[in-house]
Structure 1
Amino acid sequence: MSGWDEGGVYYSDQAQFPHGEGGGGEQAEKANRHTALQKFKEFIRNFQHKSQPNVFPYREALLSNPKYLLVNLADLIAYDPDQTLPQYLRHNPADYLPLFETAAAEVLAGLKSRVAGETGEMEEPVPGEVQVLLRSEQDSVSMRSLGAQYISKLVKISGIVIAASRTKAKATYVTLLCKNCKNVKLVPCRPGLGGAIVPRSCDHIPQPGEEPCPIDPWIVVPDKSKYVDQQTLKLQENPEDVPTGELPRNMLLSIDRHLVQTIVPGTRLTIMGIYSIFQAANSSTSHRGAVAVRQPYIRVVGLEETSKANSRSPANFTRDEVEEFKKFASDSNVYEQICSKIAPSIFGHGDVKKALACLLFGGSRKSLPDGVKLRGDINVLLLGDPSTAKSQFLKFVEKTAPVAVYTSGKGSSAAGLTASVVRDNSTREFYLEGGAMVLADGGVVCIDEFDKMRAEDRVAIHEAMEQQTISIAKAGITTVLNSRTSVLAAANPPSGRYDDLMTAQDNIDLQTTILSRFDLIFIVKDIRMYSQDKNIASHIIKVHASADAATSEARNSKEDNWLKRYIQYCRTECHPRLSESAASRLQESYVKIRQDMRRQANETGEAAVIPITVRQLEAIVRLSEALAKMTLSHVANDNHVLEAIRLFNISTMDAARSGINQHINLTPEVANEIKQAETHIKRRMGIGSYISERRLIDELTRMGLNESIVRRALLVMHQREEVEYKRERRVIVRKA
């Protein structure tokens, strides 16, 4: 239900808005309300901070913006020593907030008349509509703890907006016309999602010979009623607040007037509002015997964004924290210290940890004069063998990043990652619900099992990874949502393990279009070395042995929280740019990399599976800025660029070179065995015939040949174009 004209008109014989049972109660209530009105007026006129005497912030705020007034409850508590006004607002906000707005309108009218009198332009003051918005410094309550005891009270909760309806007109006063006597009556509507209470009978006294008015004589006159803008939002719990195994809860919000159309899906909010109830228009519980069941919602009376896409409010950090962060950043080996804090329970993988540190800090987002925006977020792909801690890296980043969403590729659809169009059950209208990449705006999306995603679902995130927007054109809704987020993906090769005897195209079974959008691509191999295996085994045994110690757990959570705060501070305060010498060095390195890749492509006759394009140049720029951001430096120098190029070379460049010309540098014995295997393959296969790869290998191994030698011989023949290797059906075709 969204207004009086959608099933929200109620009929009652009772008096409208009764206050108290007897006359004494009503008189006391009137006296209280009058006193409260005067106190609210005095507060707006006279409040001043102790640190700034003779400065009246609420007076000035009203004059500068007469549409709404943002009031901090802490100021109200400081001004009113009896605590009556804050108590009224907390326990009975539906009655006393309109009084506050009336007081603000009257004070504004008085201030305007005074200003007009000083300028000599006297005009009649007209009390306008002033919306009072509240904010509070107290902690927000959990959405799960909201129960019947909070109904009609002021509450504060936080979450992510996942859907926003279109703007509607909500009646504040309904004009009624009597069918019989043409009497006109103005009836107030309850705020929020409530409707109007219409009396059953007309109060017109019939004259002698005049027919009395019947029961229910009223006709609503929409054109003469008064309206305000209204919009409904759906607020979902923050992902980090949802207990494991539970579905996230969501709450319906109603916003009106100047809050309308200020919020888009994906925004993280902390809201103050009145916990209210309403009867759904087509609720299944509205049948006879269940009339008392109502749906809860929150009528918003104040909201603030808890995080912005590109930065967070610096007011979140204490002075001691800022000093500690600056002292830490001034250390000479700050880069190594940060990398040592990245996933300390995982042995080795030093370069992967450095890449994840760069991803968490991110580069600088830029806006060009022509309106084009360049992303600063870094995307990383971990591809390789199972049991190489890829998923553990993803879990660590999800826990450490200020905003993060974790999802699995097989369990995610294109709509779940980007945005879906949903139809509301009560109003039957379509609205947008943001997916994982919209909810993680300003943070990181961790996608596990990236290779298990369907190809059409993977294509859906192309735009989100480079342009950092999600365009929707469905069910008559055409819009663009922000998804300014980093992507950290983990994938396995098609065969399950990384096979050195296969080409890079076969091992990295992803399209070039998606690979070019990753700044760093790491091939993570499970290398069988005695000394390394011994060290890994020793490390894992130690981790398991100390896992139950509560002190280490508390210490680790404290360190993780410190790292999260430091990342948050660096992303807020520092936006580095390349120095001139670093820029020229980077330019030379990029040209050299392009030349090397072109030469290799000419030698082998095939292009690299990962193209080296301008996107990769921008990736090195972002890495350099992230390395500078770790030290709170506003300039990325030559050292930062050299380290960024090193990271790029050992990750993306190694992956691009892998599988190219793998049959060179062979020992004479191995080369002889490969030639023998080629001879056997040619004998087994006639020209134009084809055979299953698995069957061919089995037959030749039964003849005494080594399986790896047969695979390598097939690879050599494929590169000489003597056989055609069809990956789809895993068959080999002999060519003339």
Structure 2
Amino acid sequence: MSGWDEGAVFYSDQAQFPDDGTGTTGRRHSVQMKLKEFIRNFEKEKNVFPYRESLIQNPSFLLVHLEDLLSFDAHLPSLLRSSPADYLPLFEVAAAEVLASLKMKVDMEEPKVGEVQILLASKEDSLSMRTLGAQFISKLVKISGITIAASRVKAKATTVHLSCKNCKSTRDEPCRPGLGGAIIPRSCAHVPQAGEEACPIDPWIVVPDKSKYVDQQTLKLQENPEDVPTGELPRNMLLSIDRHLVQTIVPGTRLTILGIYSIFQAANSTASTRRHERGQFSRSFCFHTRRDRRIQKFASQPDAYKTICSKVAPSIFGHVDVKKAVACLLFGGSRKSLPDGVKLRGDINVLLLGDPSTAKSQFLKFVEKTAPIAVYTSGKGSSAAGLTASVIQDSGTREFYLEGGAMVLADGGVVCIDEFDKMRSEDRVAIHEAMEQQTISIAKAGITTVLNSRTSVLAAANPPSGRYDDLKTAQDNIDLQTTILSRFDLIFIVKDIRMYSQDKLIASHIIKLHASADAVSGDSKIVCKEENWLKRYIQYCRAVCHPRLSESASAKLQDQYVQIRKDMRQQANESGEAAVIPITVRQLEAIVRLSEALAKMKLSHIATEIEVNEAVRLFTVSTMDAARSGINHQLNLTAEMANEIKQAETQIKRRIGIGNQISERRLIDDLTRMGMNDSIIRRALIIMHQRDEVEYKRERRVIFRKH
């Protein structure tokens, strides 16, 4: 996209269209009169004239709904859709004249006729960027996407003032439609008198001081991540906005645009095309009254929390607490602004760390499909710039501009980062600010700015050795820095526990899933109604509900936090080493956010002691258990004892062949004669039994080495 942000003279819709001799001037005049009548006389209710009142309140722009225009005159919307470049200027002239007449009635004096920008809105469905073809050129289209870059504000000429360098005659030339420059005539119409020199070819020079301009900005719009087919690159197009819309959009904003679709030829390339839209932007969600009543009825049920958690990743067996944590992440807490300007995040961050094949990536994929806004990425394939923001130099103009990364594009949603442990440490450090302050500060190439990244982070990681090793300490198994761990509200250790009864249930569940799944051929998609319902419910709850803790819940949470800190201090004193996951004020704020998310699921504006108790329980079974994990905390071992257990394990494996049996007493006696401690040998056997490497038979009298 070279030269996309280059300065040039562009078209604006205020340009007056001269009579082209085809007899359309009369029709344009009649259309303009109808548009003036619409602005003056359209009634929403009896004696309520919305567009007339809107013009008086905001003289600079007027937002017009095409459905209102259709109810007033059936032909006007079709004219705007088919020839917007012709009739939008008429609409703006009509609005300016109506505004002038309204001001004259109020102020009783001749007002100055200013400019009014017309912004159009429609309830029709958005088109996909991939469906925009030749049939839509110069038509009014509606699309949606996400802004990934924004140019600097430039002056765009609406009328160019020309002066002949020979005869000094002047003329005003309106800019042509499209993103190209104005059409400047090759010759001067001046007729030379006797003794005068004829004007040469291309005599005109532009007089910038006498030309007319408006503010203009160029945006780069990309398809929403969830709309991009698997295996294909996202499409993008350029948006040209001016006047009132300038500097209202930052990278990462999701837009719905209604504007003119056009192309123009790039100056430095004969093959590339550029697209341009002007329009109105919207980020709000629409809810119907009937759907509101159904949602509120569901939220009032006593088992609403249990039902929501059952709808989280139903294809995954077990992991009940992880599902509850994911549900809290999807709903989120309440974002707060303090009197001193500090903002406290309401988004919840969750880390899943553990063995392979424990459905961690499946949870991430489910959240990507269910969250209203979500971006999925892999830690190995992501850089610091790809996650935050990058500064790119345009090859045409040599200027620098910003392009938002995954955490900017997911503003207001969730970022799912798989293989979190495979990221480079310097890339992981780049998201520290984004996870806690929820902003991304950029100071590169003369660009100093702050971007919003109000997003939750759901990350999945493996231990350094690939599997969670019970013989290692928590510090060795969780090979992440304390700075990043403290930013996660919940940290789950997900283990692949070998248990006959549980393995049988999981196998039965997987086989049923494969047997009952519908076969999908080609690119056809099957939409899950349960997922769509949950997505709508999450949207509604996040939009209308912002809970706060009750006084009794606050007092209880305060006592719980003090007790947790006391227990962790006592544990650190006994073990002689600091916890791998420190319990700080951030963890207190995490429990507050969890309590608010649990209340939000029930559409309750108050988080009570019940929510606090459940939040503390979730925190205990996740982060607290992760902090206490490892062989040292389970069996109260020191580093020397852990090393001795490893040596005992090696000797046991040498003496037992696969499928052989040996008496436990005999084995202990043999190893004791080698100088090993009896308790060390027994603990080694317990650990091997937990890992399913040995099996006790006949009431622990014989050890059987499994295949």
* TM-score, scaled to structure 2: 0.88
1:75 aligns with 2:61: no
Are 2:145 and 2:224, in contact at CA under 8 Å, matched by a contact in 1?
yes
Task: Say if 1:483 and 1:3 are closer, same or farther in 2 by CA, change over 3 A.
Answer: closer
Superposition map of 1:10-89 within 5 A: 23=21, 26=22, 28-49=23-44, 52-80=45-73, 83-89=74-80
1:424 CA drift (Å): 2.1
Paired residue secondary structure (1:232):
strand
CA distance in 2, matches of 1:148, 1:562: 37
Counterpart code for 1:38: M
2:223 corresponds to which of 223, 226, 237: 237
1:102 aligns with 2:93: yes
1:303 aligns with 2:280: yes
2:572 corresponds to which of 598, 601, 609: 601
Paired residue secondary structure (1:138):
coil
Are 1:2 and 1:193, in contact at CA under 8 Å, matched by a contact in 2?
no
Paired residue secondary structure (1:38):
helix
Task: Say if 1:42 and 1:411 are closer, same or farther in 2 by CA, change over 3 A.
Answer: same
1:141 aligns with 2:127: yes
**What corresponds to 1:528 in structure 2?**
498
CA distance in 1, matches of 2:566, 2:200: 93
Aligned length: 651
1:208 CA drift (Å): 2.2
Task: Say if 1:473 and 1:192 are closer, same or farther in 2 by CA, change over 3 A.
Answer: farther
1:615 corresponds to which of 583, 586, 600: 586
Superposition map of 1:417-566 within 5 A: 417-548=387-518, 557-566=528-537
**What corresponds to 2:562 in structure 1?**
591
1:200 CA drift (Å): 1.3
Task: Say if 1:70 and 1:658 are closer, same or farther in 2 by CA, change over 3 A.
Answer: same
Task: Say if 1:185 and 1:606 are closer, same or farther in 2 by CA, change over 3 A.
Answer: same
Moved more, 184-193 or 151-160: 184-193
Counterpart code for 2:281: E
Are 1:6 and 1:281, in contact at CA under 8 Å, matched by a contact in 2?
no
1:223 aligns with 2:209: yes
CA distance in 1, matches of 2:631, 2:496: 20
1:365 corresponds to which of 305, 317, 335: 335
Are 1:624 and 1:641, in contact at CA under 8 Å, matched by a contact in 2?
yes
CA distance in 2, matches of 1:415, 1:79: 51
CA distance in 1, matches of 2:649, 2:394: 65
Counterpart code for 1:46: N
CA shift digits 1:231-265 (9 cap, x unpaired):
10000001111111110000111111111100000
1:397 CA drift (Å): 0.8
**What corresponds to 1:177 in structure 2?**
163
Are 2:490 and 2:622, in contact at CA under 8 Å, matched by a contact in 1?
yes
1:674 CA drift (Å): 4.7
For structure 1, list consecutive stretches of 5 or more residues without a partner in the other structure.
10-15, 286-292, 307-311, 681-699, 714-736
Paired residue secondary structure (2:166):
coil
**What corresponds to 1:696 in structure 2?**
none
Paired residue secondary structure (2:29):
helix
Counterpart code for 1:483: S
CA distance in 2, matches of 1:424, 1:65: 37
2:345 corresponds to which of 366, 371, 375: 375
Are 1:4 and 1:171, in contact at CA under 8 Å, matched by a contact in 2?
no
Paired residue secondary structure (2:277):
strand
Determine what percentage of the aligned residue pairs are the same residue: 77
1:554 CA drift (Å): 9.7
CA shift digits 1:272-300 (9 cap, x unpaired):
111112221212x1xxxxxxx56131231
Task: Say if 1:353 and 1:270 are closer, same or farther in 2 by CA, change over 3 A.
Answer: same
1:412 aligns with 2:382: yes
**What corresponds to 1:116 in structure 2?**
107
Task: Say if 1:180 and 1:528 are closer, same or farther in 2 by CA, change over 3 A.
Answer: same
1:635 aligns with 2:613: no
CA distance in 2, matches of 1:526, 1:72: 57
**What corresponds to 1:331 in structure 2?**
301
Paired residue secondary structure (2:238):
strand
Counterpart code for 1:151: I
1:388 CA drift (Å): 0.4
**What corresponds to 1:694 in structure 2?**
none
1:676 CA drift (Å): 8.2
Task: Say if 1:709 and 1:200 are closer, same or farther in 2 by CA, change over 3 A.
Answer: farther
Superposition map of 1:245-394 within 5 A: 245-283=231-269, 285=270, 295-300=273-278, 302-306=279-283, 312-313=284-285, 316-394=286-364
CA distance in 2, matches of 1:295, 1:649: 57
CA shift digits 1:138-197 (9 cap, x unpaired):
111110011111111111110000000000111111111111111111111125522111
Paired residue secondary structure (1:197):
coil
CA distance in 2, matches of 1:711, 1:417: 49
CA distance in 2, matches of 1:478, 1:166: 13
Are 1:275 and 1:296, in contact at CA under 8 Å, matched by a contact in 2?
no
CA shift digits 1:27-68 (9 cap, x unpaired):
x2111111111111111111112xx11111111111111111
Paired residue secondary structure (1:602):
helix
1:93 CA drift (Å): 0.7
Are 1:151 and 1:275, in contact at CA under 8 Å, matched by a contact in 2?
yes
CA distance in 1, matches of 2:533, 2:513: 22
Counterpart code for 1:84: H
CA shift digits 1:616-659 (9 cap, x unpaired):
00000000111111111111111110110011011000111112
**What corresponds to 2:620 in structure 1?**
649
Task: Say if 1:100 and 1:678 are closer, same or farther in 2 by CA, change over 3 A.
Answer: closer
CA shift digits 1:386-438 (9 cap, x unpaired):
00000001111111111111111101111110011112233221111111101
Paired residue secondary structure (1:322):
helix
Are 1:44 and 1:58, in contact at CA under 8 Å, matched by a contact in 2?
yes
1:573 CA drift (Å): 1.2
Paired residue secondary structure (2:411):
coil
Are 1:576 and 1:628, in contact at CA under 8 Å, matched by a contact in 2?
yes
1:502 CA drift (Å): 0.3
Paired residue secondary structure (1:163):
strand
Paired residue secondary structure (1:199):
coil
CA distance in 1, matches of 2:230, 2:586: 38
Task: Say if 1:113 and 1:662 are closer, same or farther in 2 by CA, change over 3 A.
Answer: closer
Paired residue secondary structure (2:200):
coil
Task: Say if 1:174 and 1:679 are closer, same or farther in 2 by CA, change over 3 A.
Answer: closer
**What corresponds to 1:697 in structure 2?**
none
Paired residue secondary structure (1:200):
coil
Counterpart code for 1:350: V
1:305 CA drift (Å): 2.5
For structure 2, list consecutive stretches of 5 or more residues without a partner in the other structure.
652-670, 685-707
CA shift digits 1:329-353 (9 cap, x unpaired):
1111111111111111111110100
**What corresponds to 1:165 in structure 2?**
151
Are 1:163 and 1:431, in contact at CA under 8 Å, matched by a contact in 2?
yes
CA distance in 2, matches of 1:298, 1:672: 68
